[in-house]
Amino acid sequence: MSAVRPRARRSASILRPGSGLLILPPAVWVLAVLVAPIVLIGLYSVNLKTNLLGVPTAFSTANWKDFLPPGSNPFWDRFKISMTITVAVSVITVVAAYPLAYFLAFVAGKRRYALLMVLLAPFFTSYLLRVIAWQVILNNHGVFNSLLWDLGLRPHGDGIPWLIYSKFSVGLVLFYSWVPFVAVPMFVVLDTMDRSLIEAAHDLGASRLTAFLRVTFPLSIPGVIAGFVFVLIPTTGEFITPLLVGGPSSFMFGNSIQSFFTDTPNWNYGAVLALWLVAVVLVMLLVFGRYLSTDLEDAAT
């Protein structure tokens, strides 16, 4: 019974006159900027609204039928390629960012926040400029190929063909863009970790590697998952990077959506692709959010 009482008290406090009003502003905000646009996109996807001149607005699932079932049209190929790039970038970014976060938390000492700022400094400039800078580095007559020519490692004028306008260049620029942001949640978890647990492991005879594998790493998993989700969710809808450094075969699913809303405006078909992506992101949030919330609850207790 004693375990039930706090729940009852919480219920009572919610029912206190006026307290429910506090939830109104965020609820209105979420409805206005998240739910309403998705509903609107849903109306476009079934042709109850349209941007197309001369096309009558009447309920139709024609665009859904064209898009589904899986494998029936090229957008599925694009979706698979996008998800492959997204997952690969997320995994590689987490793997690369972990040592960085570890260094900041355990080695950098008092300088760690200053070093974190240095790490984040390039990100105070425009994302677009940074991607264009990569164009300068990677293109056929760019910095990297010129260096290879000057060193005599490749014949002059013969650039590495896959260095730009390829899946590699898209992955590389996405990796560069996300490493610092992925390092931050991992750094926070590592930095706030109870060091006495690591000391206890050492006292019990664990080597540094064993202590890392059995204590430090398991305790840092919430940060790792948070970092992974930080990359995974936004890159799922990415379109700027593939547009600037991707080739015709490395465009991502987000490029098809963007194109349907701008270059070849057919919002009705674009809405179908957009809703599909929303559904995929929601599934991701449900899967990973479960782990994150569990760990947060654990952390709270």
Partner 1 sequence: MTILEWDGYQAAGTKAQTTKGIVFGKDYTDEFGANGLAYSLITNDSQAIGKVRTGSKFDVLHPCAENFKDYVDGGFVQPWDTSLLPSFANLNPALVKGGQFNGQQYAIPWDWGYGSVIYRTDMVDPADATGWELFWNPKYKGRISMWNGATTNFEIAALKLGFPEMDNLSSDQLDQATQSLIEQKPLNKFLWVSEYTNLQPALTNGDIWIAYSWQDQWVYGREHKPPIPFNFMQPTQGRLGWYCGFMLGKDTANYYHAHKYVESYINHQACLSLTNNFYYGSADATVKLSEISDPLLAKSLSIGDPNVLSDTSKVHLQSWEPNEIAVQTAWEKVTAA
How near is the Cβ of 165 to partner 1 at its closest, in Å?
5
146 binds partner 1 (CB under 8 A): no
Cβ 140 to partner 1 shortest distance, Å: 4
Cβ count near 238 (within 10 Å): 23
37 binding partner 1? (CB under 8 A): no
Chain positions 176 to 235 lying near partner 1, rule: CB under 8 A, are none
Closest to partner 1 by CB, 180 or 237: 237
Among 254, 269, 276, 280, contact with partner 1 (rule: CB under 8 A): 269
Contact 87, 280 (CB under 8 A): no
Reading the block at residue 271, the tokens are: 């809405």
* Binding flag, residue 265, partner 1 (CB under 8 A): yes
The conformation of residue 73, written as its DSSP 8-state character, comes to: S
DSSP 22: G
Determine which helix (DSSP H) or strand (DSSP E) holds 245, and give its type and residue range: helix 240-245
* Interface with partner 1, residue 26, by CB under 8 A: no
Would you give the distance in Å from CA 52 to the centre of its chain? Answer: 32
- Give the residue, chosen from 9, 10, 65, 141, that forms a contact with partner 1 under the rule CB under 8 A: 141
Interacting residue with partner 1 among 56, 152, 157, 205 (CB under 8 A): 157
Residue type at position 176: Y
Report the alpha-carbon angle 163-139-182, nearest 5.
Answer: 60
Tokens (6 digits) for 59? 């309920």
74: contact with partner 1 by CB under 8 A:
yes
Whichever of 138 and 198 has its CB closer to partner 1, that residue is 138
**Of residues 44, 98, 178, 267, which one binds partner 1 by CB under 8 A?**
267
Euclidean distance between CA atoms 3 and 52, whole angstroms:
59
CB of 108 to partner 1, least distance (A): 41
Among 2, 13, 196, 262, binds partner 1 (CB under 8 A): 262
Comparison of 60 and 139: residue with beta carbon closer to partner 1: 139
- Cα-Cα-Cα-Cα torsion 31, 33, 39, 45, nearest 10 degrees, comes to -170
Structure tokens that stand for 162 in this block: 């896959």
- How many angstroms separate the Cα of 140 from the Cα of each of 29, 151, 155, 245? 47, 16, 12, 12
Q: Does 75 bind partner 1 (CB under 8 A)?
A: yes
Query: In whole angstroms, what is the distance from residue 214 CA to residue 234 CA?
Result: 31
Residue 73 interacts with partner 1 (CB under 8 A): yes or no: yes
Q: Are 242 and 67 in contact (CB under 8 A)?
A: no
Quick check: 52 binds partner 1 (CB under 8 A)? Answer: yes
In this structure, how many other beta carbons lie within 10 angstroms of the beta carbon of residue 151?
Answer: 8
Which of 96, 266, 284, 291 is the binder for partner 1 (CB under 8 A)?
266
Q: Which residues 78-107 are close enough to bind partner 1 by CB under 8 A? A: 78
Residue 256 interacting with partner 1 (CB under 8 A):
yes
What residues make contact with partner 1 under the rule CB under 8 A? 51-55, 73-75, 77-78, 139-141, 157, 159, 161, 165, 243, 246-249, 251, 255-256, 259-260, 262-267, 269
